[in-house]
Structure 1
Amino acid sequence: MYQDYKNVELVKPGGLDLKDRLVGVQRVTKVTKGGRAFGFSAIVVVGDEQGVVGQGLGKSKDVASAIAKAVDDAKKNLVRIPLQKGSIPHEQKGKYGGARVLLMPAAAGTGVIAGGAIRSVLEAVGVHDVLSKNQGSSNPHNVVKATFDALLQLRNAETIAKQRGISIDKVFNG
């Protein structure tokens, strides 16, 4: 799922205190020869609020099992996100389908300025101060994936120094 990103660190769920957040539940209908078959689709974000987060989708005939399946799926897709003093290291844009997301670091005490699906993801990661803007589609599935796209592109100073083969001081001082 995350093979397109260079510095993705996959995390095993064992030993983590994961909290799940329900982003959305949709009732879906399959029209068959015998009539309509109703089911539910749930999207969930799980995280330890210290930089580890995952998202999952679950589908079932009833809401409770759809959410349970989504939580299990999310635990299989955990990644570590670089955080810096309760915010993100730098400004980043993410996109998925018609959804576009802009994330900007904020000063301490600003809070999470985000709506709906973006807020769920950022709170699960453990970001306390960030500004965000949803540009484009408001479809929660695509907004969550666009937010993950932005978060997975984030790099901290140590990663940049390691990739360039220079010291951290040279990253900032040129």
Structure 2
Amino acid sequence: MGPKSGKNQGGNRRGARPRREKPEYDQKLVDLRRVARVMAGGRRFSFRATLIIGNKKGMVGLGTAKGSDTAIAIDKAFKKARKELFTVPLTKDGTIPYEVSAKFAGSRLLLRPAHAGRGIMAGGPVRIVCDLAGINNITGKIISRSTNKLNNAKATITALQKLAS
């Protein structure tokens, strides 16, 4: 036999792996923490994942979940985020229609529309949410002193939901 003899030479056989198609939603992990629950015998640890998903065409959602392992927590968070998806109204310039502010827990922020070509001028979780929502031109400012990624992400989601209603 020639140089291409052997079992694993490609082709479409019965045991071949199916091709993985591109997922319908892009996802970004905002926060992954080890959290503890105090029991009689000591601390019991689990992981909390905060995940943002979006299709970059106006749909975005945020999910937070806990699990005994990081992979389990991320998978649960993805499923929760899919249930929380909503549509953000976008203009033809890829920005939001008007200025909006929101508050969640200790986090306050302001989102302003921007002219075409400006890009996403925001930091941290605000940038991630806007990017996955498909907003190309926006100015975002976290007004509070809060550095909590989860609260800042939820405040951004709250602001975008105000636009949707």
Smaller-chain TM-score range? Answer: 0.7 to 0.9
Cα deviation for residue 134 of structure 1 reads: 0.8
Q: Which stretches in structure 1 are left out of the alignment for 5+ residues? A: 1-15, 160-174
Indicate whether 1:24 and 2:27 are aligned.
no
* Superimposed CA distance per residue, residues 140-159 of structure 1 (whole angstroms, 9 cap, x where no aligned partner): 1211111111111116xxx9
Cα deviation for residue 66 of structure 1 reads: 0.5
Give the alignment's TM-score, normalised by structure 1.
0.77
Indicate whether 1:153 and 2:162 are aligned.
yes
Letter in 1 for 2:90: L
Letter in 2 for 1:142: N
Cα deviation for residue 123 of structure 1 reads: 0.7
Give the alignment's TM-score, normalised by structure 2.
0.81
Letter in 2 for 1:89: P
Indicate whether 1:132 and 2:137 are aligned.
no
For residues 68 and 116 of structure 1, the distance between their equivalents in structure 2, rounded to whole angstroms, comes to 22
Cα RMSD after superposing both structures: 1.4
SS at match of 2:27: strand
By percentage of residues, which structure has more helix? 1
2:14 aligned partner: none
**Higher Cα Rg, which structure:** 2
Cα deviation for residue 20 of structure 1 reads: 1.0
Given the alignment, which residue of 47, 50, 54 partners 2:61? Answer: 54
Indicate whether 1:118 and 2:123 are aligned.
no
Runs ≥4 in structure 1, deviation > 4 angstroms? none
Q: What is the number of equivalent residue pairs in this alignment? A: 141
Indicate whether 1:104 and 2:112 are aligned.
yes
Identity %: 41
